[in-house]
Amino acid sequence: MKKSITVWLCGMTALGVAMSLVNSLHSEEAQPPKVAADTVLKSLREGHPRLVMLESDLERVRGLIQADSAAKRYSEELRTDAEQLLEAKPVEYVIIGPRLLSQSRRCLHRVYTLGLVYRLTGERRFADRAKKELMAAAAFPDWNPSHFLDTAEMCHAFAIGYDWLYDTFTPQERGIIKTAIVEKALKPALGVYEKNEWWARTVYNWNQVCNGGIGIGALAIADEEPELAARVLSYAIESIPLSMKTFGPDGAFPEGPGYWGYASQYAVFFFAALESALGRDFGLSAIPGFSDAGLFRIYFCGPIGRTFNFADAGEGSGSAPQMFWIARRFDKPIYAWHQRQSVRSPGPLDLVWFDPRGEGPVKNALPLGRHFKGVDVVFFRSKWEDRNAIFVGFKGGDNRVNHSHLDLGSFVLDALGERWAVDLGPDDYDLPGYFGSKRWTYYRLRTESHNTLVINDKNQSPDAPAPIIGFGSTPERGWAIADMTRAYPDVKGSVRRGMALLNRSHVLVQDEISSSEPVDVLWGMVTEAKVELQGKSALLSIGTGRLLARILEPGDASFEIISANPPRPQRQQPNAKKLAVRIPQAKGNVRIAVVLSPFQDSEPTPKFVPQLQPLDKWNR
């Protein structure tokens, strides 16, 4: 969808990957109390509009457009977008793989854009074009409830269109739109709730998206269909805390940056609509962890706008308008600052929720390193607000998490305005068995495509966690240790990896493998840089930037290059290659230590050699 955060969408068969953690993450005692259907609508705001942006909010936005140059730019670009949509062909009933989702998202974006520009300008042509979009989708035979994300997002589009453009429709047109919401979304959702089917009880992104989209639909027509709307809302309000608790304790989301965006965005859609329509969000936004969700985004976005894209996530940081809403809700202006830096092509909610406040991490004295304990992911950098800074994302985590790859111990590395250690991201969701029996056969999801260890040419165990067992960050040094032992059942002993940013200038990757039986170990780092092998060292080049990789231990090891391009129909990356170190028949206590030193071609080659210490002594 144009002008929105890029989101990779999960298939229904991901349930088998996802549900293994549900019971372990949330006990029966943690279930929220049900909100009674006969009370949920008592404070319903009369009339329209009542969703997300009231008339009073519209005046605030108009004032911001006059007073703030960024808000003015957003307004101008959104109007240009709306002008282009006037001649666009409406959505069609086109199923790709199991999904109608591209059409649902297109409709949602168009309705928001056209509806907002109409409300700001009063020009009826924008409302009339939005009406064409809604009438086209209302004529669909269904909204593809077998892949319920499609239904939820289309319901969201219809709710906003019905509410924001209510006075522009004839009674007949209102009837068509309302009937579509009821028959194609709310009634199918009610069936899911009553049977407690999987998305209503999962702790992952489907929960926020489905509850959010359906809940907004119920609020749009609550005065006309009060019994149905109340039942749906009471279920949605009861269900969504299951997934909101996944942001605890510190704002991170285990499905990675892309799904952090998808889940948090739909949560905010729902909370904003509840507040505007009912005057309260029933305490949902106050669930512990969510107030820190913006910090996770600030940390996972590197200095060049590329994320630590673990799990099924693309590396682009995209836009997250919910950061504006969260900034105001929790009085954390730094979130608004970050969003203003991130916006390239503004979406409608960037303007609706715009917040001009805030300064960056330097003024706010954010630490240069942080361990997000909820997901066991660590970030280090040499500086904030410097495009050339060193940035390291390092992952422990849990291979059982929905959308995970077999990537425990993996990392990315940015320096000098370039990415040197790359995570290739997801493959095509429509590959056969991508969320099923063939998932771990695809290169991008396998251990071998990630910047970690491969032992005996096997994947990591899909059931393994890798807790971060040590972390520290000082002005001179940041470090973390992951215990990856359970990922490698062939190792009769232990496997641990340490990552350190030394002198805030050099990255040390230190692995310690203890095995009573011999194992073949492959250390690897995927890169798109030009690589010149020099035995125990390798010189990587991108433009005028250089990265010197040196093997400190074992003494007899050397670098080699392995292709990182799988056979078709998997996604191709012909420029990617794997810088590798092989340790055959490793037995006893083996240490692999590689130091990565960035420098410009005009600078002397780095000579820094750290004094190696066992991982057990890193915290001393």
Q: Which helix (H) or strand (E) holds 326?
A: helix 322-329
pLDDT in tens, 134-143: 999 999 999 9
Q: Is residue 263 within 8 Å of residue 205, measured between CB atoms?
A: yes
DSSP label at residue 460: P
pLDDT of res. 293: 98
The tokens describing 273, both together, are 């609509």
Distance of CA 10 to the CA centre of its chain: 12
Q: Is residue 374 within 8 Å of residue 252, measured between CB atoms?
A: yes
Q: Is residue 509 within 8 Å of residue 580, measured between CB atoms?
A: no
pLDDT in tens, 211-236: 999 999 999 999 999 999 999 999 99
Question: 352, 377, 406 — which closes off a domain?
Answer: 352
CATH code of 282's domain: 1.50.10.100
What is the average pLDDT score of the chain? Answer: 94
Q: Is residue 4 part of a domain?
A: no
Confidence of residue 63 (pLDDT cuts 50, 70, 90): very high
Same domain, 71 and 175: yes
Question: 322, 352, 382 — which closes off a domain?
Answer: 352
Which residues are CB-neighbours of 29 under 8 A, at least 6 positions away? none
Count of Cβ atoms closer than 10 Å to residue 67 Cβ: 10
With H, G, I as helix, E, B as strand and everything else as coil, classify residue 420. Answer: strand
> Tokens 């209102």 appear where?
174
Confidence of residue 8 (pLDDT cuts 50, 70, 90): very low
Same domain, 347 and 494: no
Residue 423: HSE in the Cβ half-sphere, 13 Å Cα cutoff? 33
User: For the CA atoms of the chain, what is the radius of gyration?
Assistant: 25
Instruction: Choose between 5 and 468: higher pLDDT.
Output: 468
pLDDT in tens, 299-336: 999 999 999 999 999 999 988 999 999 999 999 999 99
Lowest mean pLDDT across 27-36, 384-393, 546-555: 27-36
Same domain, 281 and 404: no
Q: Please work out, in degrees rounded to the nearest 5, the angle formed at the alpha carbon of residue 532 by the alpha carbons of 531 and 533.
A: 110
Residue 581 has pLDDT above 90, yes or no: yes
Residue 6 has pLDDT above 90, yes or no: no
pLDDT of res. 619: 85
Lowest mean pLDDT across 25-34, 154-163, 192-201, 410-419: 25-34
Torsion of CA 228, 232, 237, 241, to 10 degrees: 170
Q: Is residue 55 within 8 Å of residue 241, measured between CB atoms?
A: no
Count of Cβ atoms closer than 10 Å to residue 479 Cβ: 23
Same domain, 395 and 308: no
With H, G, I as helix, E, B as strand and everything else as coil, classify residue 362. Answer: coil
pLDDT in tens, 485-495: 999 999 999 99
Distance of alpha carbon 119 from alpha carbon 55, whole angstroms:
9
The tokens describing 256, both together, are 């990675």
Same domain, 400 and 438: yes
Residue 30 has pLDDT above 90, yes or no: no
Find the mean pLDDT for residues 338-357: 97
With H, G, I as helix, E, B as strand and everything else as coil, classify residue 240. Answer: coil
How is 30-51 classified by DSSP, letter by letter?
GPPPPPPTTTTTTTPPPSS--S
Q: Is residue 586 within 8 Å of residue 455, measured between CB atoms?
A: no
Q: Is residue 173 part of a domain?
A: yes
Same domain, 512 and 373: yes
pLDDT of res. 32: 53
With H, G, I as helix, E, B as strand and everything else as coil, classify residue 549. Answer: strand
Tell the burial category of 516 from Cβ atoms under 10 Å away from its Cβ (0-12, 13-18, 19+).
Answer: exposed
Same domain, 347 and 485: no
pLDDT in tens, 561-570: 999 999 999 9
Q: Please work out, in degrees rounded to the nearest 5, the angle formed at the alpha carbon of residue 398 by the alpha carbons of 377 and 264.
A: 60
CATH code of 580's domain: 2.70.98.70
Residue 77: HSE in the Cβ half-sphere, 13 Å Cα cutoff? 17
The tokens describing 324, both together, are 């504006």
Q: Which amino acid is at 319?
A: S
Confidence of residue 19 (pLDDT cuts 50, 70, 90): very low
Q: What is the pTM of this model?
A: 0.94
Distance of CA 138 to the CA centre of its chain: 30
Distance of alpha carbon 591 from alpha carbon 586, whole angstroms:
10
Find the mean pLDDT for residues 513-527: 98
Residue 9 has pLDDT above 60, yes or no: no
pLDDT of res. 535: 85
DSSP label at residue 202: -
Chain length of the chain: 620
With H, G, I as helix, E, B as strand and everything else as coil, classify residue 280. Answer: coil
Same domain, 107 and 171: yes
Same domain, 443 and 317: no
Count: domains in the chain: 2
Which residues are CB-neighbours of 288 under 8 A, at least 6 positions away? 245, 248, 249
Distance of alpha carbon 54 from alpha carbon 112, whole angstroms:
14
Residue 404 has pLDDT above 50, yes or no: yes
Q: Is residue 28 part of a domain?
A: no
Distance of alpha carbon 397 from alpha carbon 334, whole angstroms:
27
Report the DSSP beta bridge partners of residue 392.
380, 413
pLDDT in tens, 429-446: 999 999 999 999 999 999
Q: Which amino acid is at 14?
A: A
Distance of CA 16 to the CA centre of its chain: 20
Q: Is residue 618 part of a domain?
A: no
With H, G, I as helix, E, B as strand and everything else as coil, classify residue 508. Answer: strand
Confidence of residue 5 (pLDDT cuts 50, 70, 90): very low
pLDDT in tens, 98-112: 999 999 999 999 999
Count of Cβ atoms closer than 10 Å to residue 417 Cβ: 15
Q: Can you give 339-370 as a three-state secondary structure string? A: HHHHCCCCCHHHHHCCCCCCCCCCCCCCCCEE
Torsion of CA 216, 218, 224, 226, to 10 degrees: -140
Q: Is residue 19 part of a domain?
A: no
Question: 352, 383, 418 — which closes off a domain?
Answer: 352
Q: Is residue 359 part of a domain?
A: no
Distance of alpha carbon 148 from alpha carbon 331, whole angstroms:
34
C-alpha pair distances (Å), 365 with each of 143, 337, 355, 359, 384: 47, 14, 21, 10, 9
Same domain, 334 and 389: no
Q: Is residue 287 within 8 Å of residue 344, measured between CB atoms?
A: no
Q: Is residue 7 part of a domain?
A: no
pLDDT of res. 16: 39
Same domain, 338 and 421: no
Residue 25 has pLDDT above 70, yes or no: no
**What values do phi and psi take at 45, rounded to 5?**
-70, 135
pLDDT of res. 4: 36
pLDDT of res. 2: 37
The tokens describing 263, both together, are 């889940």
pLDDT of res. 15: 37
Q: Is residue 23 part of a domain?
A: no
Same domain, 208 and 268: yes
Distance of alpha carbon 453 from alpha carbon 464, whole angstroms:
14
- Domain range holding 515? 369-608
| Strand-pair category, 377-381 with 369-372 | antiparallel
Which residues are CB-neighbours of 35 under 8 A, at least 6 positions away? 233, 234, 237, 238, 282
pLDDT in tens, 583-615: 999 999 999 999 999 999 999 999 999 999 999
Q: What's the first-to-final CA gap in the chain, in angstroms?
A: 50
Distance of alpha carbon 534 from alpha carbon 558, whole angstroms:
8
